[in-house]
C-alpha cells in the first residue's frame, strides 16, 4: 500500500486538475520513500524541489481555472494556497539549515494538507461546476 493512496473521493474534474493532483500524490510518495529509506540529502533535495515547483505550478493552474469559471470563493481559496506555500518554504528552509526531523515531517505535512485541501476546498469547485451545469441543463 502506498504511503499516500489515490482515492475516488479525491476526484474533482476527471481532467487536468485530477492529473495535477495525481502527479502530486506520486511525488509525495517519492519523497516519503527517499526520506524513509534515509537517502542522501541530494536525492531528497531533488524530489523536494520538484514537489515545491510542481505544487506552485498546480496552484496557479487551479486558480486560473477557478477564475475562468467565475468560482465565487477564489479569494479565500487563494489565501489557503498561500498559507500552504509559506509553510512549505519554511520547512524547506529548516531542512536546508540541517534539521533532520524536518525531513520526515515533509511528506506528512504534504500528504495531510493535500488530502484535506482537495477533499474540502477543491471539492467546492466540483460542487460549483455541477450546480452551474444543472442550471444550464447540460447534465452532471
Ligand atoms: Fe488542488
Ligand atoms: Fe486548491
Domain boundaries, the chain: 16-129
* pLDDT (0 to 100) of residue 100: 67
Candidate from 23-27, 93-97, 99-103, 118-122 with smallest mean pLDDT = 99-103
What separation in Å is there between the alpha carbon of 95 and the centre of ligand 2? Answer: 25
The reported pLDDT for the residue numbered 42 is 83
Report whether pLDDT(114) > 70: yes
Residues near ion ligand 2 (CB < 5 Å) are 122
81 or 95, which is more confident? 81
pLDDT (tens digit per residue) in 21-70: 999 999 999 999 988 888 878 888 888 899 999 999 999 999 999 999 99
SS3 call for 73: coil
What is the arithmetic mean of pLDDT over 115-131? 95
Alpha-carbon distance of 66 to 126, in angstroms, equals 10
Q: How far is CA 28 from CA 21, 25, 64, 124, 132, in A?
A: 10, 5, 24, 23, 33
CATH superfamily of the 16-129 domain? Hemerythrin-like (1.20.120.50)
Q: Is the pTM of this model over 0.85?
A: yes
CA of 102 from ligand 1 middle (Å) equals 24
Closest ligand to C-alpha of residue 63 is 2
Amino acid at each position: 500500500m502506498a504511503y499516500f493512496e489515490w482515492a475516488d473521493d479525491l476526484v474533482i474534474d476527471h481532467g487536468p486538475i485530477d492529473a495535477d493532483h495525481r502527479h502530486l500524490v506520486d511525488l509525495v510518495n517519492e519523497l516519503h520513500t527517499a526520506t524513509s529509506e534515509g537517502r542522501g540529502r541530494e536525492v531528497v533535495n531533488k524530489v523536494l524541489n520538484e514537489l515545491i515547483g510542481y505544487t506552485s505550478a498546480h496552484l496557479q493552474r487551479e486558480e486560473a481555472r477557478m477564475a475562468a469559471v467565475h468560482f465565487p470563493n477564489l479569494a479565500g481559496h487563494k489565501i489557503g494556497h498561500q498559507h500552504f506555500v509559506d509553510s512549505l518554504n519554511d520547512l524547506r528552509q529548516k531542512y536546508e539549515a540541517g534539521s533532520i526531523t524536518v525531513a520526515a515531517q515533509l511528506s506528512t505535512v504534504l500528504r495531510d494538507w493535500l488530502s484535506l485541501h482537495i477533499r474540502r476546498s477543491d471539492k467546492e469547485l466540483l460542487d460549483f461546476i455541477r450546480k452551474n451545469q444543472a442550471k444550464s441543463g447540460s447534465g452532471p
